[in-house]
Amino acid sequence: MDKYKRLKHGEASFTLEERFDDVEKAANPSTEGEFVEIKISNLKIDFTKVIKEQDGRVKDSPSKVQGSSREETQEVPGSQKKSK
> d(Cα 13, Cα 41) in Å, to the nearest integer?
5
Report yes or no on whether pTM surpasses 0.75.
no
Q: Tell me which H or E stretch contains 6.
A: strand 4-19
Q: Going along 20-77, which residue ranges are E strands?
A: 34-52
pLDDT at 42: 96
Phi/psi for 4 (5° steps) reads -130, 150
Return the amino acid letter for 83: S
Rounded to 5 degrees, φ, ψ at 21 are -80, -35
Low-confidence ranges of the chain (pLDDT < 70): 55-84
Domain count, the chain: 1
Q: What is the pLDDT of residue 84?
A: 47
Residue 17 lies in a domain: yes
Neighbours of 16 (CB within 10 A): 11
Whether 26 is covered by a domain: the verdict is yes
Structural domain includes residue 78:
no
